[in-house]
């Protein structure tokens, strides 16, 4: 095959397989994208999406399979080669340098790719300025990136990708931080890029917003390609079915007892720059959803409930008693539990044994006055909780890192449930969890509500909110703008309220 | 094949590898100078030598487990020794014997340990409450403690104690050197606290992931305060041993012990970024170091080459710990094929 | 125009500068003769070697590492160079001695570089180990006795004065040409950090190693350069130290590595990496030298020197740490 005959295919992966220490992340996947085409790559967390991105970006090398650029087979890729071939990735975490200026962040990879030895401040500033103008952004070139908001950081990341000749732009979860207006602006940029012949690959687990600019859709599940076709053949329901491998019944949670007593009340909670005048009630057995875009204040509010963020004023009352603000120890002692959003950095002690990760929550209950632990009862109860939450492991002394995402989340849940809290705040309970475990975690939530716990679910996974929550609060710019009953709203409606 | 894997299992953990190293060093030194190295005299003299810096290594271990470090241990040790020495010389004097001497020695030691605890508390407040990086907080406070020791003594040695003072550093109890017994008790105690108490578990979990510890509602401030106070107390005990052995106290005693203590802790498998470390590893590292330096001493090798060998040992152990598969030809081959 | 409202009082550099000014003000009050050329030259002379070390330490901190072995490299280099030249080429001019020192220092730095960049070992432990190795090797295999007769080149370099003056009482003061070497080091390092992609890559790695890898920065090569360059600077510092002291004492230099790092942190560099300026570094060194040389002038006995430096370190690093902690609590 000569390079010319395949010139239409800008990039193609042929039968690519990649395994990480025995786990197959990508299994015999074929994938291609043409000039000026926009493709949606859909899949749940752990489906192999990020591995595919990393292979295209040259960050990871496949175990076997071929990579072709314009029909020419590539040897071993590295980030520099890949970037030089015009593949630009906007990572979900943006991969920016917080200590460097906006201009430098935009121009750094461009300078590397032209092999610059000297740092030409004028050229860097010019490139920063022209790229921002092209994208339609106006930021201070000299501002350190750490001072920017999340949305502005994302714009810097987009500018960086577009700063040099881009032939393929890969956007990893492009819309999580953006409002509807910003998404529309982003789509306008994408259309212009496509007209210039740039290919765009959207990678996401919620793609409804970008489907309109895409030609085709590829769905991954458990490392395999399970569906592929023109974008018009997909809607969010079909996508979900392919991504999860089953029809997710839009079941609503069991209704709660109307007479259930009030458990938690939050009154006029304020935190400058994070949230304003937040008030709500939570009843026994109720599952309350709090949703909003990244930066809407939902995470700050969740942390404030558990004392990790100190509100400026307002009150939190649990079972009729005021809870001290801004003190996680007091919040936990009062009966509030918190399962964090980022399990790997905030939730788990990755290299520590599974058993210790659970036991750390109930040391006080198993310690004598002298501080000496009753190790037998501690490990017995730990094993018991692991069993109750169906954590699948052969060895509870193994590092918790060795568990799957779903089992890891159950370990964090077990730690909190062992303390017998009255209110459990779950921030992104099923992020990075496989489909089967996700359903089981939802069952656990339903079970907790059945036992009379108050549960607060913070999430932007709309189907999850609709299946688990009795009531959903929608946050925007730090305020609660909507308080809707879970049974009275559908996904499209909720999505609109979120991003309006 | 099976034997290969068994052999590998023997050296799979850092502590097991250290045990092998300690035994090899001991055997090597015994083979090179059997008469002198294995003599009872050498054994006792080693047992008197290492406890003072080994106790400092225990303090270092405890703070490193939290991901911190205590660079002020030598300063604390000297300052508390000088306080004790000043009490002894002012109220007891060299000629005092009997219960009076014992009483003043007890008061002096109590004061020294109190000084150690207060100094540790200052470190704890700087680190846990004010949020200073441990390395800078204890560097600065260490200078202050050493500086105060200089101010109190004008830089000269304080001496002239009752005879009882010599017992802690030079005495024998049931034929065993007292400092060795002291170190053994402290090491066993630390090990017990780390593995059997909630505090010990929290120390290790906090070191493994401070952020997750905060999210797990661990009382971080209280835990860190106790860690640095304990470190200060251990440092003052080491200061007491040094004072007893030197029969004097001075602001610049044991200044080479700081790096040595860090080196021993790291060599003993303690992760300086926190979360992992076992007292048994530190004990094995101390023994290896002591065997090596006594042995080399007998072979007529200069003191300075010890430093060279310690450094080389540290780097070697780090390389092996970071790539344990290098030790296992069986596994390495399989990975290649 | 100079604009008072633009001064950022939260910056370490500003704080350190204010403390220096305050110190000088107090000193001038109690001794009007304090604000004079001899005092300035004393200060500058005292900063020559420390500044070179501090610049080296700052570079490593910016990249997110920490190096405690540079003093051992300096001592090793100074002693080995003096000995080598005395034996093989006692007559070579001063610049050859300096070049040889930088070469030996760079070579020792390369050992750190291989262990850190090549094997990926943690910087603190590697340099702690090599500190012992370099020092132990020098004292065991090269020698332990002071070299009181330096090679001609080093002697000459130590005697070369830029400026000389005579006080009213007839005593002399002078600024050696070694000061120019320090200025050169600062200028070259400034150029590397601010005007080359290599320098920007050092900042980038300190900001986020993972991001640096993703955009194709050659992280190991950059790290390797850092440790070689730091080694060369340490070597240079060692040669200058012995030239000025007119003796190569193998027991000199090792010990204050952590104070040098503290001076750099006083000047605004962060232990976590990504931040550090040459101006701040020089101010940090100036403050430490000022306190060491002139504490007596403001009426504090010399025995309090160590306490004063300790308090300075705690305040200088504590204020920003406390501010950061408070603003982290304020932010969500």
Chain A touched by C225 (CB under 8 Å): no
Evaluate if residue C239 carries a pLDDT over 60.
Answer: yes
A314 in helix, strand or coil?
strand
The answer to whether the CB atoms of A109 and C210 lie below 8 A apart is no
Closest-CA distance of chain C to residue A60, Å:
10
Asked if the Cβ–Cβ distance from B304 to C135 is below 8 Å, we say yes
Q: Is A32 helix (H, G, I), strand (E, B) or coil?
A: strand
Tell whether the model's pLDDT for residue C270 goes beyond 80: yes
pLDDT higher than 50, residue B333: no
Chains in touch with C (3+ beta-carbon pairs under 8 Å) read: A, B
- pLDDT score recorded for residue A2: 41
Provide the mean pLDDT of chain C: 87
Tell whether C207 lies on the interface with A, counting CB pairs under 8 A: yes
The percent of residues in chain C predicted with pLDDT above 70, rounded, is: 96
Name chain C contacts of B144, Cβ cutoff 8 Å: 306-307, 310-311, 314
Q: Pairing mode, if any, of strands B158-159 and A321-322? A: unpaired
Is C4 a residue whose pLDDT tops 70? no
pLDDT band at C144 (very low <50, low <70, confident <90, very high): confident
Give per-residue pLDDT as tens, B75-110.
999 999 999 999 988 887 777 777 888 888 899 999
Confidence of residue B175 (pLDDT cuts 50, 70, 90): confident
Q: Which of A54, A57, A100 best probes binding to C when mutated, by most C CB atoms within 10 angstroms?
A: A100
Residues of A near B (Cβ–Cβ under 8 Å) read 308, 328-329, 331-333, 338, 340, 345-352, 356, 359-361, 363-364, 366-367, 371-373, 375, 415
Q: What element of type H or E holds A447?
A: helix A435-450
Q: What is the DSSP string of A466-482?
A: HHH-SEEEEEETTEEEE
Interface check for A97 against chain C (CB to CB < 8 A): the answer is yes
The residue in chain A having the minimum alpha-carbon distance to the alpha carbon of residue B221 is A329
Distance from CA of A54 to the nearest CA of C (A): 9
From B255's Cα to the closest Cα of chain C, the distance in A is 9
Judged against a pLDDT cut of 60, whether residue C152 lies above it is answered with yes
- CB-CB under 8 Å, B147 with C133: no
Residue B226 CA to residue A163 CA, distance in Å, equals: 53
Is C216 within 8 Å of A83 when comparing Cβ atoms? yes
Residue B305's contacts (CB-CB under 8 Å, 6 or more residues apart) are B296, C136, C139, C140
Smallest Cβ distance to A349: which of B199, B209, B217? B209
- Write down the pLDDT at residue A177: 63
CA distance B136 to B69: 9
Q: Is the pLDDT of residue B208 over 60?
A: yes
Residue C62, pLDDT score? 96
Cβ distance of A347 and B215 shorter than 8 Å: yes
CB-CB under 8 Å, C139 with B302 = yes
With 0-12 CB in 10 A as exposed, 13-18 as middle and 19+ as buried, what is B94? Answer: middle
* % of chain A residues with pLDDT over 70: 93
Best residue of B131, B258, B264 to probe chain C, by most C CBs closer than 10 Å: B131
- Give C328 to chain A, closest Cα distance, Å: 9
CA distance A383 to A395: 10
Q: Which of B139, B154, B272 sits opposite C258 (nearest CB)?
A: B139
**For residue C64, pLDDT beyond 80:** yes
Provide the pLDDT confidence category of residue A233 given band limits of 50, 70 and 90: confident
DSSP string, A429-440: TTTT--HHHHHH
Q: Does the distance separating the beta carbons of C329 and A297 come in below 8 Å?
A: no
Q: Which of B196, B201, B214 sits opposite A356 (nearest CB)?
A: B201
Q: What is the ipTM of this complex?
A: 0.85
- Spell out which residues of chain B touch residue A364, defining contact as CB-CB under 8 Å: 198
Q: In this model, does residue C256 exceed pLDDT 60?
A: yes
Q: Give the least confident one: A324-338, A409-423, C166-180, C194-208.
A: C166-180
Residues of A in contact with C199 (CB under 8 A): 119
Looking at residues A283-296, what average pLDDT do you find?
A: 86
DSSP 3-state of C183: helix
pLDDT at position B7: 59
CB A19 within 8 Å of CB A133: no
pLDDT (0 to 100) of residue C203: 96
Question: For residue A458, which of A299, A266, A308 has the smallest C-alpha distance?
Answer: A299
CB atoms within 10 A of CB A85: 22
DSSP β-ladder status, A168-172 and A199-204: parallel
Find, in chain B, the residue whose alpha carbon is nearest to that of C257.
B139
Chain B residues with beta carbon closer than 8 angstroms to that of C255: 255
Is there a contact between A349 and B215 if contact means CB atoms under 8 Å apart?
no
pLDDT bracket for residue A337 (50, 70, 90): very high
What is the model's pLDDT at position A460? Answer: 79
Percent of chain C with pLDDT over 90: 42
Distance from CA of C195 to the nearest CA of B (A): 31
pLDDT at residue C255 tops 80? no
Q: Does C324 touch chain A (CB under 8 A)?
A: no
Alpha-carbon distance C177 to nearest alpha carbon in chain A (angstroms): 30
| Residue B6 confidence (pLDDT) above 70 | no
pLDDT over 90 percentage in chain B? 42
What is the pLDDT, as a whole number, of residue A490?
77
Taking residues A150-177, report their average pLDDT.
Answer: 82
Per-residue pLDDT tens over the stretch A415-467: 999 988 999 999 888 776 766 677 888 888 998 998 889 999 998 778 888 88
pLDDT at residue A60, as a whole number: 85
Q: Which of A309, A336, A349, A379 is the best residue to mutate to test the B interface, defined by the most B CB atoms within 10 Å of its own CB?
A: A349
Q: What was the pLDDT predicted at C233?
A: 96
Residue A91: list chain C partners with CB under 8 A.
214
Which of A97, A113, A118 shows the shortest C-beta gap to C211?
A: A97
Q: Give the phi and the psi of residue A241 in degrees, each rounded to 5.
A: -65, -45
Rounded-to-integer distance, Cα A342 and Cα A405, Å: 11
Position A1 confidence tier, pLDDT thresholds 50, 70, 90: very low
Q: Chain B residue with minimal CA distance to A331? A: B217
C199: nearest CB among A119, A272, A326? A119
Spell out the SS3 assignment of chain B: CHHHHHHHHHCCCHHHHHHHHHHHHHHHHHHHCHHHHCCHHHHHHHHHHCHHHHHHHHHHHHHHHCCCCCCCHHHHHHHHHHHHHHHHHHHHCCCCCHHHHHHHHHHHHHHHHHHHHHHHHHHHHHHHHCCCCHHHHHHHHHHHHHHHHHHHHCCCCEECCCHHHHHHHHCEECCEEHHHHHHHHHHHHHHHHHHHEHHHHHHHHHHHCHHHHHHCCCCHHHHHHHHHHHHHHHHHHHHHHHHHHHCEECCCCCCCHHHHHHHHHHHCCCCCCCCCCCHHHHHHHHHHHHHHHHHHHHCCCCHHHHHHHHHHHHHHHHHHHHCHHHHCHHHHHHHHC
Enclosing H/E stretch for A10:
strand A9-20
- At residue B337, the pLDDT reads 31
A101 — pLDDT class (breaks 50, 70, 90): very high
Average pLDDT, chain B: 86
Which phi and psi (to 5°) does residue A221 adopt? -145, 130
**C-beta atoms of B126 and C120 within 8 A:** no
Nearest-10 crossing angle of helices A435-450, A405-417: 20
Residues 6+ apart with CB under 8 A from B19: B284
- Give the pLDDT score at C82: 92
> Tens of pLDDT along B15-57?
888 888 889 989 988 888 888 888 888 888 888 889 999 999 9
Chain B's closest residue to C264, CA to CA, is B136
Chain C residues whose beta carbon lies within 8 Å of the beta carbon of residue B305: 136, 139-140
């Amino acid at each position: 095959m000569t390079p010319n005959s395949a010139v239409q295919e800008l990039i193609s992966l042929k039968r690519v397989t990649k395994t990480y220490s025995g786990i197959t992340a990508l299994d015999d996947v074929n994938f291609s994208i043409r000039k000026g085409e926009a493709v949606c790559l859909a899949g749940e967390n752990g489906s192999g999406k990020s591995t595919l991105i990393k292979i295209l970006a040259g960050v990871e090398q496949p175990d076997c399979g071929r990579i072709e650029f314009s029909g020419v087979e590539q040897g071993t890729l590295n980030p520099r080669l890949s970037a030089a071939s015009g593949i630009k990735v906007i990572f979900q975490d943006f991969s920016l340098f917080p200590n460097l200026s906006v201009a430098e962040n935009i121009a750094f990879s461009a300078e590397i790719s032209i092999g610059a030895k000297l740092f030409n401040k004028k050229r860097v500033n010019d490139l920063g300025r022209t790229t921002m103008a092209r994208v339609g952004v106006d930021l201070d070139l000299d501002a350190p990136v750490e001072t920017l908001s999340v949305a502005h950081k994302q714009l810097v990341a987009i500018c960086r990708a577009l700063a040099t000749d881009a032939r393929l732009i890969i956007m990893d979860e492009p819309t999580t931080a953006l409002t509807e207006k910003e998404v529309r602006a982003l789509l306008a940029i994408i259309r212009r890029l496509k007209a210039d012949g740039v290919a765009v690959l959207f990678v996401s687990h919620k793609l409804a917003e970008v489907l309109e600019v895409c030609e085709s859709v590829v769905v991954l599940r458990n490392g395999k390609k399970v569906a592929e076709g023109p974008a018009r053949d997909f809607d969010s329901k079909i996508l979900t079915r392919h991504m999860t491998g089953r029809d997710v019944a839009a079941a609503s949670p069991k209704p709660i007892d109307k007479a259930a007593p009030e458990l938690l009340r939050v009154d006029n909670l304020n935190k400058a720059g994070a949230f304003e005048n937040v008030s709500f009630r939570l009843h026994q057995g109720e599952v309350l959803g709090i949703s909003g875009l990244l930066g809407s204040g939902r995470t700050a509010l969740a942390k404030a409930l558990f004392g990790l963020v100190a509100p400026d004023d307002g009150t939190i009352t649990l079972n009729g008693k005021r809870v001290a603000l801004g003190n996680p120890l007091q919040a936990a002692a009062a009966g509030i539990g918190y399962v964090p959003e980022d399990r790997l950095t905030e939730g788990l002690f990755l290299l520590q044994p599974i058993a210790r990760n659970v036991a750390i929550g109930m040391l006080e209950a198993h310690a004598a006055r002298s501080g000496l632990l009753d190790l037998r009862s501690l490990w017995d109860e730990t094993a018991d909780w692991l069993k109750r939450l169906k954590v699948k492991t052969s060895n509870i002394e193994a590092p918790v890192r060795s568990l799957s995402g779903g089992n890891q989340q159950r370990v964090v849940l077990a730690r909190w449930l062992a303390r017998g809290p009255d209110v459990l705040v779950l921030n992104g309970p099923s992020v990075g969890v496989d489909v089967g475990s996700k359903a089981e975690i939802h069952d656990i939530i339903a079970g907790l509500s059945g036992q009379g716990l108050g549960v607060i679910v913070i999430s932007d996974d709309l189907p999850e909110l609709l299946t688990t929550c009795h009531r959903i609060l929608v946050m925007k710019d730090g305020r609660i703008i909507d308080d809707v009953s879970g049974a009275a709203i559908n996904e499209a409606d909720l999505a609109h309220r979120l991003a309006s | 094949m099976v034997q290969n894997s068994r052999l590998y299992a023997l050296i799979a953990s850092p502590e097991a590898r250290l045990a092998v190293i300690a035994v090899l060093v001991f055997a090597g030194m015994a083979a090179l100078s059997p008469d002198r190295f294995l003599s009872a005299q050498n054994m006792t003299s080693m047992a008197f030598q290492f406890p003072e810096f080994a106790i400092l290594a225990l303090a270092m271990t405890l703070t490193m487990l939290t991901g911190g470090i205590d660079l002020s241990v030598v300063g604390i040790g000297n300052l508390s020794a000088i306080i004790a020495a000043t009490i002894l010389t002012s109220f007891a004097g060299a000629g005092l014997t009997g219960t009076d001497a014992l009483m003043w020695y007890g008061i002096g030691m109590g004061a020294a340990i109190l000084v150690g605890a207060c100094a540790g508390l200052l470190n704890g407040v700087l680190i846990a409450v004010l949020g200073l990086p441990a390395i800078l907080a204890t560097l600065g406070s260490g200078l202050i403690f050493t500086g105060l020791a200089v101010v109190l003594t004008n830089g000269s040695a304080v001496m002239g104690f009752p005879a009882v003072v010599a017992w802690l550093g030079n005495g024998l109890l049931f034929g065993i050197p007292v400092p060795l017994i002291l170190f053994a008790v402290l090491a066993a105690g630390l090990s017990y606290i780390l593995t059997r108490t909630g505090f010990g578990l929290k120390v290790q979990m906090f070191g493994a992931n401070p952020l997750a510890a905060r999210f797990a509602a661990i009382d971080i401030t209280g835990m860190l305060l106790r860690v640095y106070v304990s470190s200060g107390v251990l440092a003052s005990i080491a200061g007491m041993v040094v004072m007893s052995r030197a029969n004097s106290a001075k602001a610049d005693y044991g200044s080479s012990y700081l790096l040595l203590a860090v080196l021993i802790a790291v060599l003993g498998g303690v992760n300086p970024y926190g979360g992992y470390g076992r007292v048994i590893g530190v004990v094995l590292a101390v023994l290896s170091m002591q065997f090596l330096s006594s042995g080399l001493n007998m072979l007529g090798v200069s003191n300075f080459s010890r430093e060279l060998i310690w450094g080389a040992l540290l780097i070697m152990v780090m390389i092996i710990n970071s790539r344990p598969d290098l030790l296992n030809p069986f596994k390495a081959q399989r990975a290649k094929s | 125009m100079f604009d008072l409202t633009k001064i950022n009082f939260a910056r370490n550099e500003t704080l350190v500068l204010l403390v220096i000014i305050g110190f000088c003000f107090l000193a001038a009050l109690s001794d009007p003769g304090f604000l004079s050329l001899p005092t300035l030259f004393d200060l500058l002379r005292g900063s020559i070697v420390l500044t070179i070390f501090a610049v080296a330490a700052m570079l490593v901190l910016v990249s997110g590492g920490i190096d405690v072995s540079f003093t051992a490299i300096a001592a090793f280099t100074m002693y080995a160079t003096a000995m080598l030249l005395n034996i093989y080429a006692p007559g070579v001019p001063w610049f050859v001695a300096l070049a040889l020192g930088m070469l030996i220092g760079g070579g020792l730095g390369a050992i750190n570089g291989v262990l850190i960049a090549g094997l990926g070992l943690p910087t603190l432990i590697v340099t702690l180990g090599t500190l012992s190795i370099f020092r132990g090797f020098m004292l065991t295999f090269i020698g332990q006795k002071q070299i009181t007769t330096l090679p001609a080149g080093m002697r000459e370099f130590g005697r070369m004065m830029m400026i000389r003056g005579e006080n009213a009482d007839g005593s002399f003061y002078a600024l050696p040409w070694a000061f120019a070497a320090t200025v050169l080091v600062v200028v070259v390092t400034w150029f590397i950090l601010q005007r080359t992609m290599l320098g920007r890559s050092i900042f980038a790695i300190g900001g986020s190693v993972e991001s640096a890898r993703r955009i194709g920065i050659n992280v190991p090569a950059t790290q390797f350069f850092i440790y070689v360059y730091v080694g060369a600077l340490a070597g240079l510092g060692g040669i200058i130290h012995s030239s000025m002291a007119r003796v190569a004492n193998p027991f000199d230099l090792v010990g204050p590595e952590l104070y040098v790092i503290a001076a750099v942190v006083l000047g605004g560099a962060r232990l976590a990496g990504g931040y550090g300026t040459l101006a701040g570094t020089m101010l940090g060194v100036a403050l430490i030298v000022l306190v060491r040389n002139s504490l007596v002038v403001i009426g504090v006995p010399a025995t309090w020197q160590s306490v004063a430096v300790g308090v300075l370190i705690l305040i200088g690093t504590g204020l920003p740490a406390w501010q950061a902690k408070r603003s982290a609590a304020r932010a969500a």
